[in-house]
């Protein structure tokens, strides 16, 4: 067995049926214990998150405003998985994958709510006076110091994953998207040279260098600068992509009924709904839908609470409402729009798909081109993927810094940050299939320590939730 085969087997386990069952099962269990708060208090959650986005918020030294905290978390959550990941899930698992993606998100709202509540409850001030928190802190401070080994395992996995899932794969996606747009404009491939047996584009190196400079300026500027950048970038990038997707949906509105019918019928009988010649089975549909949903919104993985712990909000439950909003925005809104663009593009006859085969950016670009044309669609993808990936890089650099700080102290965080910026240059120009698989695997295994803590501290989440809403009634 080759190393690549071994990594592939680990990846299949990390994102396989049992792990996905554990992730969704934790969401179902927590939902039942807090009285399905994502449904009962959905209006309250939106009022205290979406309803406050345009209100002036302030934060003290070493803190982010609640909106900056959720923007940093969303910056990592809303990424290439919302575009290429969802497109691939539909192609391989059929339209029914969207149904299972929705279902996992409905319970993932409470999983992320619980993560955020615990992150604010058990956070600490670090040597710089900044709030630091996340799974490693609620494992140690909540479960007890005897569980510090589990907190350390989480941090090691997160630091390693940050170089892959939050760095090399993302900058590579930015370079690929911009190169595709350049090719569409010029009609020919950009200049390249051979390095280690690979064709390396000169433009990819330039793009990698520019991304490295931007990330370095933000990363070395500290917590305040990161919050200031993400609170402006996230609304802008979401708006650009959402507007483009909505235009496609409106243009092909006549096929909406067919699209939703396909989603629900294919969720349970994918092969029959697609003509019986695809070979897609129900387990593939469920696995792709749930897997892409969890990968996209990160509910249960433990990454987002690291950002939320930096909030100036002192009430854990109030900040927890942003966890519900985050999953709703990421999966129910953005991933659904991607799904509609893909399905409407196919149903209108403007885009072709081979069901059961891998697909990604090329397919969704073809779907956008049914309205915007090929060249402009490539630009939309370049802007959308570029901004989504850049925001993911910024947030994961913060997650890695916090985990590195927990493991080795503040003195080594600057070394980590310098290394993180250098790796961006490498990742921009190399083929990264193996790196993708390794990072994807580490990302999945991060969930295990986090889920143990969520289940072990579920009583704390219930207690804080009851206290919050009891106080509101009084």
Residue ranges covered by each domain of the chain: 18-51+60-473
Quote the pLDDT of residue 316.
94
Of 21, 30, 106, 34, which Cα lies nearest the Cα of 456? 30
Residue 392's pLDDT band (cuts 50, 70, 90) = confident
Quote the pLDDT of residue 189.
56
Which residue in the block uniquely carries the two structure tokens 């691939």?
A: 88
pLDDT at 147 over 90: yes
Q: What is the mean pLDDT of residues 222-250?
A: 81
Q: What is the mean pLDDT of residues 17-32?
A: 91
Q: Under a CB-based contact definition with an 8 Å cutoff, are residues 371 and 247 in contact?
A: yes
The 3-state DSSP class for residue 380 equals helix
Q: Which residues contact 452 (CB under 8 A, 6 or more apart)?
A: 139, 150
pLDDT at 159 over 70: yes
The 3-state DSSP class for residue 42 equals helix
pLDDT at 354 over 60: yes
Hey, which residues does 201 pair with through a beta bridge? 192
pLDDT at 196 over 60: no
Q: What is the mean pLDDT of residues 151-174?
A: 88
Q: What percent of the chain has pLDDT over 90?
A: 37
pLDDT at 249 over 90: yes
Residue 59's pLDDT band (cuts 50, 70, 90) = low
Residue 180's pLDDT band (cuts 50, 70, 90) = confident
pTM: 0.90
Quote the pLDDT of residue 19.
85
| Chain mean pLDDT for the chain | 85
Q: pLDDT (tens digit, 9 = 90+) per residue, 412-448?
A: 889 999 999 998 888 877 766 777 777 778 888 899 9
224 φ/ψ angles, rounded to the nearest 5 degrees: -60, -45
pLDDT-wise least confident of 195-204, 241-250, 260-269, 456-465: 195-204
pLDDT at 457 over 60: yes
Dihedral class, residue 373 (left if φ above 0, else alpha if ψ from -120 to 50, else beta): left
pLDDT at 68 over 80: no
**Sign of the CA dihedral 256, 263, 239, 85?**
negative
Which alpha helices (H) appear in 168-297, and where do they start and end? 169-186, 202-219, 222-251, 256-266, 270-273, 282-297
Q: pLDDT (tens digit, 9 = 90+) per residue, 121-140?
A: 999 998 888 889 999 999 99
pLDDT at 276 over 70: no
Distance of CA 138 to the CA centre of its chain: 22
Quote the pLDDT of residue 224.
67
| C-alpha span between 364 and 346 (Å, rounded) | 10
pLDDT at 237 over 70: yes
Quote the pLDDT of residue 187.
57
pLDDT at 269 over 90: no
| C-alpha span between 267 and 104 (Å, rounded) | 13
| C-alpha span between 378 and 435 (Å, rounded) | 25
**b/e map 244-279, b = 16+ CB within 10 Å:** bbeebbeebeebeeebeebbebbbeebbebbeeebe
pLDDT at 195 over 60: no
Quote the pLDDT of residue 115.
96
**Sign of the CA dihedral 183, 437, 87, 294?**
negative
pLDDT at 193 over 60: no
309 φ/ψ angles, rounded to the nearest 5 degrees: -65, -20
* Strand ranges (E), 299-424: none
CATH of segment(s) 18-51+60-473: 1.20.1740
| C-alpha span between 172 and 305 (Å, rounded) | 26
Q: What is the mean pLDDT of residues 365-393?
A: 84
């Amino acid at each position: 067995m080759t190393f690549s085969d071994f990594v592939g087997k680990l990846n299949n386990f990390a994102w396989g049926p049992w792990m996905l069952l554990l992730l969704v099962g934790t969401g179902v269990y927590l939902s039942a214990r807090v009285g399905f708060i994502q449904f009962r208090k959905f209006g309250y959650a939106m009022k205290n998150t979406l309803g406050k986005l345009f209100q002036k918020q302030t934060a003290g030294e070493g803190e982010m405003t609640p909106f900056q905290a959720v923007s940093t978390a969303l910056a990592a959550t809303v990424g290439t998985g919302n575009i290429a990941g969802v497109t691939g899930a539909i192609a391989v698992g059929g339209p029914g994958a969207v149904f299972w993606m929705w279902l996992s998100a409905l319970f993932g709202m409470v999983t992320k709510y619980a993560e955020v509540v615990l992150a604010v409850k058990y956070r600490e001030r670090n040597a710089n006076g900044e709030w630091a928190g996340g799974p490693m802190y609620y494992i140690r401070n909540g479960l007890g110091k005897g569980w510090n080994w589990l907190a350390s395992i989480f941090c090691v996995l997160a630091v390693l994953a940050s170089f892959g899932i939050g760095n090399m794969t993302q900058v590579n996606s930015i370079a690929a998207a911009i190169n595709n747009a350049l090719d569409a404009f010029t009609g020919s491939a950009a200049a390249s040279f051979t390095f280690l047996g690979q064709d390396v584009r000169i433009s990819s190196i330039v793009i990698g260098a520019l991304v490295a400079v931007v990330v370095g300026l933000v990363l070395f500027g500290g917590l305040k600068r990161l919050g200031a950048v993400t609170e402006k970038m996230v609304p802008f990038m979401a708006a650009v992509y959402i507007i483009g997707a909505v235009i496609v949906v409106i243009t092909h509105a006549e096929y909406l009924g067919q699209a939703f019918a396909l989603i629900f019928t294919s969720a349970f009988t994918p092969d029959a709904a697609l003509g019986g010649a695809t070979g897609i089975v129900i387990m593939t549909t469920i696995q792709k839908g749930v897997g892409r949903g969890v990968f996209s919104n990160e509910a249960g993985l433990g990454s987002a609470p690291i950002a939320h712990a930096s909030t100036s909000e002192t009430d854990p439950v109030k900040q927890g409402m942003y966890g519900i909003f985050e999953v709703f925005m990421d999966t129910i809104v953005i991933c659904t729009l991607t799904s509609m663009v893909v399905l409407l593009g196919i149903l209108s006859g403007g885009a072709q798909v081979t069901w059961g085969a891998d697909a990604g950016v090329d397919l969704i670009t073809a779907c956008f081109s049914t309205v915007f044309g090929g060249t402009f669609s490539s630009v939309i993808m370049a802007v959308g993927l570029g901004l989504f990936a850049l925001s993911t890089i910024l947030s994961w650099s913060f997650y890695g810094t916090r985990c590195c700080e927990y493991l080795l102290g503040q003195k080594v965080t600057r070394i980590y940050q310098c290394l993180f910026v250098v790796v961006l240059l490498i990742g921009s120009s190399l083929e990264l299939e193996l790196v993708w698989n390794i990072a994807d695997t580490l990302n999945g295994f991060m969930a295990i320590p986090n889920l143990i803590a969520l289940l072990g501290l579920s009583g704390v989440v219930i207690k804080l939730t009851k206290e919050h809403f009891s106080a509101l009634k009084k």
